[in-house]
Chains A and B, each alone.
Chain A
Amino acid sequence: MARLVTSRQRIQHLLRRAGFGYQASELEEYALLGFEGAVERLLNPEKVNDSATDAVLASILEPMAGNPDDRDVDRVQREALYRAWYVRISISKRPLLERMTYFWHDHFATSQAKVQKATYMQQQNETLRRHALGSFRELLLAMAQDPAMLMYLDNRLNVRGKPNENYARELMELHTLGVGTGYKETDIKEAARALTGWRIENHKAVFKTSMFDSGEKTILGSKDNFNHEKLVDLLAGDRRTAAHLADKLVRYFVRPDGEAALTRRATDEYMKTGGSMRDVMRTILLSEAMYSDGAYRAIIKSPTELVCGTQRALEIATDGRAEKNFASPMGQVLYEPPNPAGWSGDGDWVNATTVLARSNYAQQTTVRNSKSAADVAVLLRRYGATTSAAAVVDFTLDLLVGGDTDATTRTVLIEHIGGANHFNFEQAARDGSLQGMMYLALSMPLYQVA
């Protein structure tokens, strides 16, 4: 059952994985470019005009310019932080850029629950986005001097003579080499010395020579008077880092059980290009493995993907206020990863409460006359999907899951709005069955996977 045959089907799959789903009109824009053209558009976000998104965000982010030491300002900034990213993910025309920013947020997991400074978290988010498809070495260096990271992994407390190993350990275990790849406790201790000297003053990361341990260190067999930059060079250039990132990206974008041959190719690409994430991602997004039967519908959407993807597909004009409460019962809030390892994802998104919470979200987002819910009838009219029960359901299934469902699923949805004989669009819009059909489509397991 080769499922992803046509260029259009591949693009739908691509946008579910490399973006956050698609609006019906958006899909047609990508389809016009052809499969490879669509991939290139995703990989080159700077060539896409996204000024409409920027305009919406500018007003939400306005409070970020204020002084965070003022309690009232701080309170407003905290709200703006979450709103801005939920809105951006839902409406951005640069979906892979957002996807990668989201991936790096998970990879360099940092939680507002500990940092407690919205401006730092916002700044980190912008840094992640700036480097999202760039050089990994630059990204790693930026994270080593990022105020939110300095707070979260305590490196601001890492001082010559009194090292704090928290960041050094996670830097090797989680951010670069990967656990069990042969580095030793002494490597962590020596790396911690190399990372000394960073403080936060006036809300900025500053390097204090007097607090830096300038002595010689031996890290991974190399002797040098390492500082943070030389350490970043060493780690970013190590093939274990390349392999760790490649494996994680393949599990994240292709299939959760990994794909060794593709991981090797992506690792090689990283080494060949000096860690260019754009090139690594091109290798992955153009691979056959990504569109194989084993990859098809193999990934369970995160709550963020589900909520923001739904808002995108159903063209809900969100102000970003409802998402946190929608996604939290499903087990995820942006900016609040549970620990430095990020969200464990995959099967861990699924338990009794979180699965029911997904259906309850579907109910909330299809309820009539609510600001944060979809207007289902308006959407269907916009695309002319009104002529029959089958037309309504086929449009909905194509939009949400790329069509390709079993006969029972299609039949249940068609019958729900009156079937072949009793369907009347205006009546279905009035009696709530249209919303009911959308509730069912958003609730069903098929829509929970990408």
Chain B
Amino acid sequence: MVIGTESVNVRVDEPVERSSALNRPLTRRGFVTKGMAVVGLGTVLPAAFVRSAFAESLPSGVTSKRRVLVVVQLGGGNDGLNTVIPYSEGKYYDARPRLAVSAESVLPLNDQVGLHPSMVSMKGLFDQGKLAVIQGVGYPNPNRSHFRSMEIWHTASMTENAPTGWLGRLLDATHHEQKALWKAANIGAEIPQSLATRKTFVPSLASVQSYGLRETGARRTTDWVRLYAAQAAMGGALALLSKTGTDAYESTLQLTGKTAAYKPMATYPGNALGTALKTSAQLISSNLGTGVCYVTTGGFDTHVGQPGAQTGLLKAVSDAVAAFQDDLAAQGMEKDVMTLIWTEFGRRVKENGSSGTDHGTAGPVFVVGGGINGGLFGETPSVRNLDDNGDLKFSTDFRSVYSTLLSRWFQTNPKDVLPENYPEIPLWG
């Protein structure tokens, strides 16, 4: 793997692994200390980049310095075919007598495909050139298990139980300051596998307000810090707990006085996703050096009663993402932030017997940003040319999306994160 061969060793600082696997031991197998990353063809990255993760030089047309990626994960497998709808394709209507969305009601992106009628807000972003719709995204030999397919997307690896996530590897590859505790933030209760790192601390928080130790007075807090410091030396599970606790506490101190100035300048919907994206905007505006924010929203596993459920879900996503984009623009941060929206798989072309759809394969990915080329990318998946299981064939590998964001947005070498080369998607230039 590239991370190993590229490493010019400097020193080991004994990090605690933050593996997120099922009962997996906290081994140090395969751990490699990152020194100065060496880019392909012998080029050495400028020192400025290596010090500051999210970087200095910029793609053409982008003028700001800050680089942030906000990831929105739609958990459960969103039905892509009823999200970016091939409304001019008769076979689509044949396959879905009960679930098909009528051609009159879709929000057309061109004369063949259109967005689900509940996605008015995102259609607005499309019309402003701020939304890229990448069609037919998937990977070879698609897996229809939620767990396994999510794992593949999170780790960008076809190997089971890969120890780190793709964003985790990005963070580790640029990790040099022990006190940089806000390089990334997960808005939610559980760190997604995408953010599994070997050495970088990633805070997870439900909201800025709720994040922190309850006030117990100076004496208790001082002694709490002493106990956590003392027990870090005990190794194993105790070291993981101690270091996480200490970093978490210090990360709350770094927030002090920085987050209060933020005032949302758009009306976010009252749903959980809207609240999480507002928190992301708050963190980004607080200048903590945050390069990645991660948000997960669920409910897309629509085996039963899909029409009502998906309408509500897509409206929630669409409204929240558009409000977030409006807020960023009003705060003067629109050129600093990209948003990536993905799901672990699309669903079967044929509807099932209970007004729902079962697990399928390829689906659309959305990228939203102020400085991108908006529009439609990739091939529209054909509902006539299906795989052996009657599912859509993918045309764009999801790792192409990652690779494009890594090289063009973060200006980093995708090889730090992905084992192979993937063609870029022309979202910039």
The interface of chain A, by Cβ under 8 A from chain B, is 154, 157, 162, 251, 256-258, 297-300, 329, 331, 338-339, 341, 344-348, 350-356, 359-360, 363-364, 406, 408-409, 412-413, 415-416, 433, 436, 439-440, 443-446, 448-449
Contact = CB atoms under 8 A, between A and B. Distances in A.
A99 B352 CA distance: 40
Given A300-B237, A300-B241, A436 B220 contact: yes
Contacts of B25: 256-258
Interface residues of B, number: 56
Nearest to A449: B237
A355 B248 contact: yes
Interface string B79-100: 0000000000000000000000
A347 B240 contact: yes
Contacts of B26: 347
Interface stretch (B35-43, B198-206, B315-323): B198-206
B189 A353 contact: yes
Contact of A355 (B146, B220, B223, B245): B245
Nearest to B298: A338
Contacts of A256: 23-25
Given A412-B230, A416-B223, A157 B354 contact: yes
A348 B196 CA distance: 10
A331 B189 contact: yes
A279 B198 CA distance: 40
A419 to B, nearest CB: 12
Interface string B16-50: 00111111111100000000000000000000000
A334 B281 CA distance: 33
A356 B240 contact: no
Contact of A351 (B214, B232, B244, B252): B244
B8 interface: no
A360 B214 contact: yes
Given A256-B23, A352-B244, A356-B212, A347 B18 contact: yes
Contact of B230 (A258, A350, A406): A406
Contacts of A363: 214, 216
A102 to B, nearest CB: 16
B213 interface: yes
Most chain B CB within a 10 A radius of its CB, from A297, A364, A413, A444: A444
Contacts of A341: 22, 147
B234 to A, nearest CB: 7
Contacts of A258: 25
B260 interface: no
Interface in B294-340: 303
Given A256-B23, A344-B22, A354-B189, A449 B230 contact: no
Contact of A348 (B20, B186, B223): B20
A385 B94 CA distance: 77
B190 interface: yes
B227 interface: yes
A436 B238 contact: no
Contacts of B247: 352
Contact of A297 (B203, B224, B236): B236
A241 B173 CA distance: 41
Given A350-B18, A359-B213, A448-B241, 13 more contacts: A257-B27, A351-B18, A351-B244, A352-B202, A353-B205, A353-B211, A354-B189, A364-B214, A408-B226, A409-B230, A412-B226, A415-B223, A445-B241
B407 interface: no
A1 to B, nearest CB: 11
B237 A298 contact: yes
A54 B228 CA distance: 40
A355 B249 CA distance: 10
Contacts of B186: 351
A406 B224 contact: no
28 contacts: A157-B354, A257-B27, A297-B237, A297-B238, A339-B146, A344-B20, A345-B22, A347-B19, A348-B21, A348-B190, A351-B18, A351-B186, A352-B204, A353-B203, A355-B245, A355-B248, A356-B249, A359-B213, A406-B231, A408-B230, A412-B227, A436-B216, A436-B219, A436-B223, A439-B216, A445-B238, A445-B245, A448-B241
Nearest to A251: B23
Given A154-B303, A345-B23, A356-B211, A440 B224 contact: yes
A354 B217 CA distance: 21
Contacts of B220: 416, 436, 439-440
A125 B228 CA distance: 37
Contacts of A416: 219-220, 223
Contact of A346 (B24, B212, B217, B238): B24
A409 B19 contact: no
B324 to A, nearest CB: 22
Closest 3 pairs between A and B when the two form their complex, measured CB to CB: A257-B25, A352-B248, A445-B241
Contacts of B27: 257
B155 interface: no
A46 to B, nearest CB: 31
Contact of B241 (A157, A350, A409, A412): A350
B209 to A, nearest CB: 12
A177 to B, nearest CB: 15
B205 A347 contact: no
Most chain B CB within a 10 A radius of its CB, from A154, A338, A351, A449: A351
A355 B23 contact: no
A155 B237 CA distance: 39
B245 A359 contact: yes
Contacts of A346: 22-24
Interface string B245-287: 1011101100000000000000000000000000000000000
A329 B24 contact: no
A311 B131 CA distance: 52
A347 B206 contact: no
A355 B244 contact: yes
B385 to A, nearest CB: 23
